[in-house]
Structure 1
Amino acid sequence: MMDDTIAASSATLTKMAKKLREVCVTAVERMRRRTGQPIGGRREFVVIDESLFRHKRKYGRGRMAGGWKRKKWVFGMLGVRHHQGGRKPILRLVERRSRRHLVPLIAHHVRLGSTVISDEWRAYRILSALGYNRHTVNHSRWYVDPQTRAHTQHIERAWRSYKEQIWRLRGNRTDSLLSDHFSVIEWNEWLAKKHCEGAFGRLIHDISKKYK
């Protein structure tokens, strides 16, 4: 874009990226208000997990100013269609990995009766009593449960991809920026990939909605 004189400097590109990110965040917020962003059901199982996102210092050196002052957890719920491609992620910053912080998010987004796959974290023990068909994987013994064949590899692969993307964009320096990047990931999976003209077509559509 700089070679084509569309942008005069990297600072201009940074501003443009911020504007486009705002467009995606607004579109996702609009979708959440309209639909509630449900996952699961008869044709889709849900894999849940928590992961730690932290600001990394280059080569382990440098000041942590501008980074997170303490550990933060991200809770992920991934809707996976049976025998089909496509993933529907829901990613939320949480204060703790406790039942009080995680279960309300599950109850809000995951349809009752859905199959939910998780590790054996104690916060999830109540899910069966709440009406979910829960399968667990004991990661201290195996990656795939030998009886149910349940595993959490879908979301573990997703975590690696999300972390690489966000670290490349220097997007985990603040809670707000990290949340915005999660919204962009959701925008891509929930909205862009379903648009008849792909991500660019969806982006033009959402720009026209935000800037009427």
Structure 2
Amino acid sequence: MKFLYRFSQGLRMRQVDMKADGIAKSSATLSKMSSRLRRVCRHAMRRYENKKGQRLGDERESVVIDESSFRHKRKYARGRISNTWRRKKWVFGMLGVKEKQRRPILRLVKKRSRHHLIPLLVKHVQPGTLILSDEWRAYRGALTNLGYRHFTVNHSRWFVDPVSGAHTQHLERAWLTYKSIIWRLRGNRTAKLLKEHLAVIEWTYWLGNKHKKGLLGRLLKDIRHQFPC
């Protein structure tokens, strides 16, 4: 139960800390439990998407979009450098912003091209939504033609567009939070592992924070659903 609580809250998940606190004696046991709970969260998000559709945007919710690299970093520049570590892992982020509510959709993509990004945006963002982005060429002209209201900011000149007031700072701040979580847990060593960690972040904002009994209550519910007695 201590482990479940820490996982749901994202508190001191390093194995050395949990072993020191007597939660488990074996690193293998902790790794197994973490992996199982990440899959629980990922399956919960899949059920949610299949049942309700994971869609952003309405008259009051704008969407900020951006791409960010989650390439693995070697600790203290030590360790073998594999092809997986050399290769950049691009994550396409779509963040719904509605007053104080934030809803992220995070997808691992092979490239930052229009071919890879636009279909994801069409799938997850409702037409007519206000979209804010930088001036990456993959978005240029495409979003307006698809029925979105699209405003951009030129980051080489300013952080906030002086005419439209457009900015992507909500997602820029969110990237720092997401990356600190994943890098701390070394969660971007492989594409599969990174997808699981991204799913946990989505689960936190879409399901965990909205549950009447909080994150732990939602986690117990999803465990019970996936592993019925």
Same fold (TM over 0.5): yes
Q: CA deviation at 1:194?
A: 0.2
Aligned with 1:166 (options 182, 192, 200)? 182
4+ residue segments displaced more than 6 Å = none
Equivalent residue, structure 2, for 1:187: 203
Which amino acid in 2 is paired with 1:167?
A: W
Q: 1:62 to 1:115 in 2, by over 3 A?
A: same
One-letter code aligned to 1:130: L
CA spacing shift, 1:5–1:168, aligned 2, 3 Å: closer
Contact kept, 8 Å, 2:66 with 2:171, in 1: the verdict is: yes
**How far apart are residue 7 of structure 1 and its match?**
2.5
Answering whether residue 45 of structure 2 is matched by residue 21 of structure 1, we say no
> Does the Cα contact within 8 Å between 2:73 and 2:85 map onto a contact in 1?
no
- Please state if 1:8 is matched with 2:25: yes
Structure 1 residue 17, shift from structure 2 partner: 1.2
Shifted more, 7-16 versus 35-44: the winner is 7-16
Q: Which residue of 2 aligns with 1:118?
A: 133
Residue in 2 that maps onto 1:132: 148
Structure 1: tracts of 5 or more residues without a match: none
Per the alignment, do residues 10 and 145 of structure 1 end up closer, same or farther by CA in structure 2, a change over 3 Å counting?
same
Letter of the 2:91 counterpart: V
Whether contact under 8 Å (2:63, 2:97) holds in the other structure is yes
Q: Percent identity?
A: 60
Root-mean-square deviation (Å): 1.5
- For residues 82-112 of structure 1, give each alpha carbon's deviation from its aligned partner in whole angstroms, at most 9, with x where no partner exists: xx21210000111111111100001000000
Distance 1:12 1:71 in 2: 30
CA displacement at 1:5 relative to structure 2 = 5.4
Q: Provide the TM-score with structure 1 as the length reference.
A: 0.94
Distance 2:135 2:21 in 1: 53
Name which of structure 1's ranges 116-125 and 5-14 shifts more when overlaid on structure 2.
5-14
Task: Find the counterpart in structure 2 of residue 50 from structure 1.
Answer: 67
The question of whether the paired residues in 1 share the 8 Å contact of 2:71 and 2:86 is answered with no
Asked if structure 2 preserves the Cα contact closer than 8 Å seen for 1:53 and 1:172, the reply is: yes
Q: Give the paired residue count.
A: 210
Deviation sequence 1:60-100 (CA, Å, 0-9, x none)? 3331238435222110000000xx21210000111111111
Deviations 1:8-63 (A, max 9, x none): 32322221111111111110111111122000111100000000110101223331
Amino acid at match of 1:104: P
CA contact (8 A) 2:41 2:219 kept: yes
